[in-house]
Structure 1
Amino acid sequence: MAVVRIEKASRWFGNVVAVNDVSIDITPGITGLLGPNGAGKSTLIHMMSGFLPPSDGSVTLDGEVIWRNSGAYRRIGLVPETESTYEFLDGREFVRANAELQGLPDPGAATERALETVEMTAAADRPVGTYSKGMRQRVKMASALVHDPAVLLLDEPFNGMDPRQRMHLMELLRRMGEEGRTVLFSSHILEEVEQLATHIEVIVAGRHAASGDFRRIRRLMTNRPHQYLIRSSDDRALAAALIADPCTQGLELDPVEQALKVEAVDFHRFAERLPLLARERGIRLLTVSPSDESLESVFSYLVSA
């Protein structure tokens, strides 16, 4: 069980502030790190992995500062976004190099286990320079896993992978999260984050914008009306009842969807009043679905705030 703690951490490069006063705890399980390009995600991952010190604040692993701490490095695996491979090495040599740097008692056996875990054994004797983008990602993953780390940090790990490789990596990360490892990954593909992460952290312009389950984050956005798509046995009568209630601010009958679009300004009152109003008028509710409670909608709201 490992916890990476970022406390009031900032990082600047000259006059450019990449990360500004960020405090986050990365706990066991799978955390998705989201943010627009240039938001500071890679800088945060580099500080968590010990490649960069914070200019201010602290980044620790179970209470120990990570920067220049070899003990912490032995517990962390990193898959960087940038290509950090030696193309003249074959895949097996590349992974074994990290096993030997970690001082493992049997680097050969650890290398074979890691290659098998990411399904790269068959291509292990080929030079890394001949690998596709997806294969490079997998051999970087094997290198990060070779010392069996408690913390795994991945920066855009799905880049270049085909659908089968992506599904295999997602299943591997799920298994690691279930084992109690601390896994953090960044991705610009929101569908992957929504399927995989049990917790999200959002960085916007170098600042921490939100944390937690994205549905809970959406419900805390009281300044934005909740959008619902409702189908019932009598949409017009239901619209007349809802528009008279202060829990809504806008309704629209959509002939294409054959449904009622509702903007609810009071989420809790709307959830209570909708079934009561329908029952009082003898209206059957066929579908009640939020249309802006996806991770994509939440992320869009946070970025545009």
Structure 2
Amino acid sequence: MMTDLTLSEVSRWYGNVVAVNDVSMTIGPGVTGLLGPNGAGKSTLIALMAGFLAPSSGEVRLGDQRVWRNVQAYRDLGLVPEREVSFAYLTGRQFVQASAELHKLPDARAATARALAEVDLTEAADRAISTYSKGMRQRAKLASALVHEPGVLLLDEPFNGVDPRQRMRLMDLLTSMGEQGRTVLFSSHILEEVEQIARQIEVVVAGRHAASGDFGAIRRLMTDRPSHYVVRSTDDRALAAALMGQPGVRSVALGRVGSGEAITVEVTDMGEFTHALPQLARSAGITVRELAPSDESLESVFTYLVQS
């Protein structure tokens, strides 16, 4: 059973639109999080890894075999797509057994029962999928992907719309599979989701591979980046002058921000800045009325990683 998935200088474009741009990475056993904002190319990357899309350039390999149009490689891959199950009129058992039969398993019924038990869906197996909750539908898709016992499992935004209890059940399942030696990769745009279960994190932004490492390394990259703050006070001009040249402050600008005048401060050391600001204001007799980050969206964090 092959478990290492390798992308070598993989790109995928549609006409003039580049969805994935020269991505190289290796996904090994354990749980890996594919992290990036919406529209970053995560779904396209997963489709390339699963053999559903051909790379426009580069190569995707499972072990020593190419994935695209390789039936043997497909037998070692399982895919849980983000889209909802199209055959909601089927029961969970029928849906999973259809996958088993498509894989031409020698005992499709036994394989179906095993996969349903693995995702804790046996009791609801003979109900129509249309009656399932979001979390149960996710587990039905997972059972379908696991029915042929693949070494590699790919999941596209598996926690979207799932309630907290079901999310924890899914996370426990993925953690268990990683501990069994399977290669599990799931995509998400939420850092905290990835933090909870991923051994390794791969960050993608605008189709590019932006960063790679364990959670601690990625968190440091994100928090150590330059940050921008908006400060409003009783005397912006005097406070801006006091901030200039302070350790951890890269630039200070006075101007209109939103509905009024404010100071915009670019900070390279957030700790130094938050320690110095109240002391400077107090010594100058200035009252700070507002302090707010101006670039704390996830997209801004990812953009910084790409530009680094």
Query: C-alpha deviations, 1:105-158, integer Å up to 9, x for none?
Result: 211111111111212112211222332322211100110111111000000111
Check whether the contact 2:115–2:146 (CA below 8 A) recurs between aligned residues.
Answer: yes
Distance apart, 1:87 and its partner CA: 2.1
SS of the residue 1:47 aligns to: helix
The answer to whether the Cα contact below 8 Å between 1:200 and 1:211 also exists between their aligned partners in 2 is yes
The equivalent of 1:131 in structure 2 is 132
- Give % identity: 65
Partner of 2:302: 302
> What SS does the corresponding residue of 1:24 show, helix, strand or coil?
strand
1:151 paired to 2:152: yes
Distance 1:201 1:105 in 2: 37
Correspondence for 1:174: 175
What CA distance in whole angstroms lies between the structure 1 residues aligned with 2:41 and 2:178? 24
SS at match of 2:87: coil
Q: Distance in 2 between matches of 1:189 and 1:224?
A: 18
Q: Residues 248 and 268 of structure 2 are in contact (CA less than 8 Å); yes or no, is this contact kept in structure 1?
A: yes
Matched letter for residue 159 of structure 1? N
Residues 16 and 298 of structure 1: is their aligned pair in 2 closer, same or farther, counting only changes over 3 Å?
A: closer
User: After the TM superposition, which segments of 4 or more aligned residues of structure 1 sit over 6 Å from their partners?
Assistant: 296-299
Q: What is aligned with 2:243?
A: none
2:218 & 2:137 partners in 1: Cα distance? 35
CA distance in 2, matches of 1:170, 1:219: 24
**What residue is the counterpart of 1:71 in the other structure?**
72
- The secondary structure found in structure 2 opposite 1:36 is coil
The 5 A counterparts of 1:26-175 are 26-175=27-176
Kindly provide the CA deviation profile for residues 221-251 of structure 1, in whole angstroms up to 9, marking residues without a partner as x. 797369xxxxxxxxxxxxxxxxxxx98559x
SS at match of 1:45: helix
One-letter amino acid of the structure 1 residue matched with residue 205 of structure 2: V
User: Which amino acid in the other structure matches residue 197 of structure 1?
Assistant: A
Distance 2:168 2:220 in 1: 30
* In structure 1, C-alpha distance between the alignment counterparts of 2:164 and 2:33, rounded to whole Å: 19
1:216 maps to what in 2?
A: 217
Q: TM-score, normalised by structure 1?
A: 0.74
Letter in 1 for 2:93: R
Distance across 1 between alignment mates of 2:20 and 2:146: 28
**Which consecutive residues of structure 1, in runs of 5 or more, have no partner in the other structure?**
227-245, 251-262, 271-295
Q: Which moved more, 1:152-161 or 1:122-131?
A: 122-131
What is the identity, as a one-letter code, of the residue corresponding to 2:92?
G
Cα deviation for residue 88 of structure 1 reads 2.5
Instruction: Provide, for residues 245-304 of structure 1, a one-character-per-residue CA deviation record: whole Å limited to 9, x for no partner.
Output: x98559xxxxxxxxxxxx775x9xx9xxxxxxxxxxxxxxxxxxxxxxxxx998752334
| Structure 2 segments unaligned to the other structure (5+ residues) | 228-245, 251-266, 273-295
Paired with 1:143 and 1:126, the residues of 2 have a C-alpha distance of 16
Query: Aligned-pair RMSD on alpha carbons?
Result: 2.9
Contact 1:115–1:139 (8 Å) recurs in 2: yes
User: TM-score when scaled to structure 2?
Assistant: 0.73
Partner of 2:22: 21
- Shifted more, 79-88 versus 90-99: the winner is 79-88
Q: Please list the CA deviations of residues 60-95 of structure 1 after superposition, one character each: whole Å capped at 9, or x if unmatched.
A: 100211011110111011000012431222110100
Q: Evaluate the alpha carbon distance shift between residue 180 and residue 132 of structure 1 in structure 2; reply closer, same or farther with a 3 A threshold.
A: same
Distance in 1 between residues matched to 2:3 and 2:53, nearest whole Å: 20
- Please say which of residues 160-169 and 57-66 is displaced more in the overlay: 160-169
Residue 233 of structure 1 corresponds to: none
Distance 1:92 1:22, change over 3 A: same
Secondary structure of the corresponding residue to residue 114 of structure 1: helix
Partner AA of 2:143 in structure 1: A
- Asked if structure 2 preserves the Cα contact closer than 8 Å seen for 1:118 and 1:142, the reply is yes
